[in-house]
């Protein structure tokens, strides 16, 4: 197939993606003139300023292309608001992570994001650091964000009120549009207690409905929710699923549009007359919602959504963003470019049919060797990217293992190890740990608490309930992170280096090609 035909074919696929669904709300008032408003949405960017992804074999992502598409879409509609649904920072590559994610905030300021909400990863380094990142550190000439942050369900314990405003109102041509922010209550599992001890994260639906009532009392008829809560649909909008889809019928009928995030998926669907959208993650796409509002009633008469892939081949990158990226790239330590191995095949983070990841297996081996333990565990969410075939640099490992989690050595009995493994099923969700030095059989038809059978060590010997074993895990898991509170029963014997540095040391000395 010629390149020209390939481009034509891919353009057709892209058009399918960009215009997957058009929905109309019931005509509640048509007495006034119509006002067109465009909402552009981002989610789960995770500081991916200088990293690129592929969809359908085509290159997407990268801050300079995200900016180019947003700027182009803004030019198409006079009344445009740019919003995000959280996790703009956290699990970031070195260009952002090594500078406390300040470069990402600078990028969002360059985009002129109007409104944003918190994701679970905004809490990775604690509430105080999150507040510093957003409000600024003027002693160090860092001014923070220009974005208005809202969050209805993050409640400060000291004041018993929202840490950020629960909602904000934007007025366009005299029409009020209300925006409400929420973060998933799963944050209580994903963020260790010490990093969220100042706040309580309450039920999402309750918080949204309370804020909606306040907006309605203020005369607001058009309401948009920015929810760092999972949603998913197929490309035609059918088969909607995940947490927000279940919540939608319980949410106040005055809510019209919900921008979602958290699960890095595609969503463009209508549930209970609520338009739910999500544009993948890492800057792979921009969510576009077009609203038609009645100027007299202030109600939304029509709404439709497109998901725009940030395809490199169809646009020129934004020059101002390139300058920003180059500024921080020039500051990066030269060691980030050091090639530490050449892989003859890719080393995937993806789970196989047994729920195991090849990359995770190698990481747990490095942890066992470093700490001289019988067993090792790592949570899959701590590994963000696969390692591609070819030269692998320090920066590649830092992108794959972006968290500053340290490896610790603890002692657990066989009974306690089984208790940990049983926590892989919680609230009807499966969250499989990646393991080293241990194997087991999962009894699929048994309830949580009795699923782990035939638990053995790597020599095939049965794990004895009363026997004590040494286990290497992250300090994050040791504190009960990812919902694995059973690890807290273990006593920490010693603390080692960051897991990413342990893995770099391991692959420098091992033939793992």
Indicate the domain borders of the chain. Answer: 18-321, 339-509
pTM: 0.93
Q: What is the pLDDT of residues 311-332, one digit of tens each?
A: 999 999 999 999 999 999 999 9
* Length of the chain in terms of residues written: 513
Q: Which residue has the tokens 């420098």?
A: 508
Sequence-distant (6+) residues with CB within 8 A of 494 are 371, 408, 409
Q: Answer positive or negative: Cα dihedral of 328, 331, 336, 338.
A: positive
Q: Which residue has the tokens 């725009």?
A: 308
Q: Is 57 helix (H, G, I), strand (E, B) or coil?
A: coil
Q: Are strands 429-430 and 425-426 parallel, antiparallel or unpaired?
A: antiparallel
CA angle (99, 102, 108) in 5-degree steps: 145
Q: Mean pLDDT across the chain, nearest whole number?
A: 93
Whether 362 contacts 387, CB under 8 Å:
no
Among the residue ranges 14-28, 122-136, 394-408, 423-437, the one predicted with the least confidence is: 14-28
Does residue 54 carry a pLDDT above 90? Answer: yes
Check whether 503 has a pLDDT greater than 60.
yes
Q: What value, to the nearest 5°, has the Cα angle with vertex 427 and ends 425 and 428?
A: 65
Rounded to the nearest 10 degrees, what angle do helices 319-329 and 102-111 cross at? 170
The continuous run of DSSP H or E covering 157 comes out as none
Strands (E), 121-193: 148-150, 154-156, 161-162, 167-172, 175-183
According to CATH, the superfamily of the domain at 18-321 is Metallo-dependent phosphatases (3.60.21.10)
Q: How far apart are CA 153 and CA 150, in angstroms?
A: 9
- CATH topology for 339-509 is 5'-nucleotidase;  domain 2 (3.90.780)
Does the pLDDT of residue 217 top 90, yes or no? Answer: yes
* Tens-digit pLDDT profile for residues 120-165: 999 999 999 999 999 999 777 899 999 999 999 999 999 999 999 9
Please name every residue paired with 115 in a beta bridge, in sequence order, or none if there are none: 83, 148
Kindly report, residue by residue over 61-96, the tens digit of the pLDDT: 999 999 999 999 999 999 999 999 999 999 999 999
Confidence of residue 380 (pLDDT cuts 50, 70, 90): very high
466, 413 Cβ separation under 8 angstroms: yes
Average pLDDT over residues 189-196: 96
- Enumerate the β-bridge partners of residue 142: 137
Q: What sign does the dihedral 37-257-300-27 (CA atoms) show?
A: positive
Main-chain phi, psi angles of 468, to 5 degrees: -95, 135
Distance between CA 35 and CA 296 in Å, rounded?
10
Q: What is the DSSP letter of 118?
A: -
């Amino acid at each position: 197939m010629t390149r020209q035909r390939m481009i034509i074919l891919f353009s057709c696929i892209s058009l399918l993606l960009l215009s997957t669904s058009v929905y109309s709300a019931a005509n509640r008032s048509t007495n006034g003139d119509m006002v067109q408003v465009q909402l552009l949405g981002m989610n789960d960017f995770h500081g991916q300023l200088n990293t690129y992804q592929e969809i359908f074999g085509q290159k997407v992502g990268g801050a300079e292309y995200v900016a180019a598409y947003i700027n182009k879409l803004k030019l198409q509609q006079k009344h445009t608001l740019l919003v995000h649904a959280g996790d703009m920072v956290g699990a970031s590559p070195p260009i952002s992570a090594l500078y406390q994610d300040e470069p990402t905030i600078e990028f969002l300021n360059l985009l002129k994001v109007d409104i944003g909400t918190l994701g679970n990863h905004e809490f990775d380094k604690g509430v105080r650091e999150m507040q510093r990142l957003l409000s600024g550190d003027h002693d160090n000439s860092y001014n923070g964000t220009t974005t208005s942050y809202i969050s209805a369900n993050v409640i400060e314990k000291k004041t018993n009120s929202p840490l950020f405003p629960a909602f904000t109102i934007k007025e366009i041509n005299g029409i009020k549009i209300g925006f409400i922010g929420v973060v998933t209550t799963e944050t209580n599992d994903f963020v260790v207690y010490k990093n969220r001890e100042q706040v309580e994260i309450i039920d999402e639906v309750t918080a949204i409905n309370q804020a909606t009532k306040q907006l309605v009392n203020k005369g607001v008829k058009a309401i948009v929710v920015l929810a760092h809560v999972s949603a998913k649909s197929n490309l035609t909008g059918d088969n909607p699923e995940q947490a927000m889809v279940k919540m939608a019928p319980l949410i106040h009928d005055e809510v019209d549009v919900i921008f979602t995030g958290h699960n890095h998926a595609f969503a463009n669907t209508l549930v209970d007359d609520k338009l739910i959208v999500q544009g993948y993650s890492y800057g792979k796409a921009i969510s576009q919602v077009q609203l038609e509002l009645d100027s007299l009633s202030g109600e939304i008469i029509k709404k439709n959504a497109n998901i725009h892939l940030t395809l490199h081949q169809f646009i020129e990158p934004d020059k101002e963003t390139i300058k920003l990226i180059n500024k921080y790239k020039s500051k990066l330590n030269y060691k980030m470019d050091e090639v530490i191995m050449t892989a003859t095949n890719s080393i995937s983070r993806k789970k196989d049919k047994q729920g195991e990841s090849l990359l995770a297996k190698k990481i747990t081996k490095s942890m066992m060797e470093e700490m001289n333990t019988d067993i090792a565990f790592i949570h899959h969410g701590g590994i963000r990217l696969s390692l591609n075939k070819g030269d692998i640099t320090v920066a590649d490992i830092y992108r794959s293992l972006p968290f500053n989690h340290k490896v610790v050595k603890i002692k657990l009995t066989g009974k306690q190890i089984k208790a940990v493994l049983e926590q892989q099923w919680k609230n009807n969700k499966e969250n499989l740990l990646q393991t080293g030095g241990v194997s087991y059989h999962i009894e699929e038809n048994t309830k949580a608490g009795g699923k782990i059978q035939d638990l053995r060590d790597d020599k095939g010997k049965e794990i004895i309930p009363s026997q004590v074993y040494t286990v290497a895990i992250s300090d994050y898991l040791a504190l009960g992170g990812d919902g694995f509170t059973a690890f807290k029963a273990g006593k920490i014997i010693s603390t080692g280096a960051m897991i990413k540095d342990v893995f770099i040391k391991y692959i420098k000395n091992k033939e793992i090609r």
